[in-house]
Amino acid sequence: ATKLMAGKRGLIMGVANDKSIAWGIAKVCAEHGAEIAFSYQGETLRKRVQPLADQIGATELIECDVSQPESLDALFDRLKQVWGKIDFLVHAIGFSDKNELRGRYVDTSPENFRMTMDISVYSFTAACQRAAAMMPDGGSLLTLTYYGAERVMPHYNVMGVAKAALESSVRYIAEDLGKDGIRCNAISAGPIKTLAASGIGDFRYILKWNELNSPLRRNVTQEEVGKSALYLLSDLGSGVTGEVHHVDCGYHVVGMKAVDAPDI
Ligand code: NAD
């Protein structure tokens, strides 16, 4: 089979365990010949990420808390030291106090608003600044978003506001870095049961609703997000930038509950 990522090196941020969307992307890219470095949030996660990295022969496993600028600097300094340059970056990171991922958005606290924006929005821009400096031959930057950026979804609240800002930042970054041959895109994934998703109120109900009402009448898998990421990260996506690409079994086109869908 054609190896679409042969000769490409990149950083994948946000693997927490084997359910992570970042891991789904890593597996598909590795199958296509990419050489991958991982960053993980803290030492307690290392024991989960290490065996996954081993599974695909990745040797660079670097701790990085994106809320700390020094931690981001150390991550990219290390990559510069070992690889000099990179071809792609995947940012699959988001965080908010789970007490605010239920109830009303309007009750959001200023502290959690700032923290959510910092970790879920600014960290992508901060990573892009540093990654772009290591992309002399161009490259591809990718982040993960959700439909709650565009429409009100139950319990998504401040995270929806953050994802809207993240999607906007994708467009600004695409314009800023396009001249350097660097593309920037987002995948808007349908709901998937992960660690981060378990913080969202009534998540099982949301999964079931999407399963019953999306055009494909099922939910997406990590691997399907991985396959779409492969397109955006490889030369297949060479003409695509500033895009928010939905990988959600078509849910975003639906305007009303399907007539054949049972009530849940
Ligand atoms: P996950 O819990 O596996 O991944 C979230 C990651 O964010 C974890 O690896 C965590 O360590 C990392 N993170 C949080 N705070 C951090 C910090 N300060 N520094 C460094 N890393 C930090 O869950 P996931 O669902 O795979 O989430 C990945 C991305 O996909 C997120 O942006 C999420 O919003 C997005 N997304 C998820 C879904 C879904 O239904 N699961 C749908 C659409 C978009």
pLDDT confidence tier of residue 258, bands split at 50, 70 and 90:
confident
Q: What is the pLDDT of residue 257?
A: 83
The CB of 232 under 6 Å from ligand 1? The reply is no
- Please check the confidence at residue 264 and state whether its pLDDT lies above 80: no
Q: What is the pLDDT of residue 144?
A: 99
Amino acid, res. 117: M
Do the annotations mark residue 66 as ligand-binding? yes
Q: What is the pLDDT of residue 199?
A: 87
Q: Mean pLDDT in the chain?
A: 97
Do the annotations mark residue 14 as ligand-binding? yes
Ligand 1 atom 34: residue of nearest CA = 94
- Please check the confidence at residue 183 and state whether its pLDDT lies above 80: yes
CATH of 9-249, one of 3.40.50.720, 3.40.50.920, 3.30.1490.20, 3.90.1150.10: 3.40.50.720
> Probe ligand 1: pick from 11, 17, 21, max atoms within 8 Å of CB?
21
- Please check the confidence at residue 259 and state whether its pLDDT lies above 90: no
Q: What is the pLDDT of residue 13?
A: 98
Whether residue 86 contacts residue 146, with contact meaning beta carbons closer than 8 Å, is answered with no
Which is catalytic among the residues 146, 147, 172, 251? 146
| Residue that is written with structure tokens 């789970």 in the block | 98
- pLDDT above 70 covers a percentage of the chain that reads 100
Tell me how far the alpha carbon of residue 9 lies from the centroid of ligand 1, in angstroms: 22
Q: Rounded to 5 degrees, what angle do the CA atoms 134, 136, 139 make?
A: 80
Cβ within 8 Å of residue 173, ≥6 positions away:
125, 128, 141, 184
Q: What is the pLDDT of residue 181?
A: 98
Do the annotations mark residue 241 as ligand-binding? no
pLDDT confidence tier of residue 116, bands split at 50, 70 and 90:
very high
Helix (H, G, I), strand (E, B) or coil at 242: coil
Q: What is the pLDDT of residue 33?
A: 98
pLDDT confidence tier of residue 105, bands split at 50, 70 and 90:
very high
Residue 105 annotated to the active site: no
Distance separating alpha carbons of residues 169 and 242, to the nearest angstrom: 9
Q: What is the pLDDT of residue 142?
A: 99
**DSSP H/E element including 10:** strand 9-13
Q: What is the pLDDT of residue 200?
A: 87
The 3-class SS string of 49-118 reads HHHHHHHCCCCCEEECCCCCHHHHHHHHHHHHHHHCCCCEEEECCCCCCHHHCCCCHHHCCHHHHHHHHH
- Please check the confidence at residue 221 and state whether its pLDDT lies above 80: yes
Whether residue 214 contacts residue 248, with contact meaning beta carbons closer than 8 Å, is answered with yes
- Please check the confidence at residue 37 and state whether its pLDDT lies above 80: yes
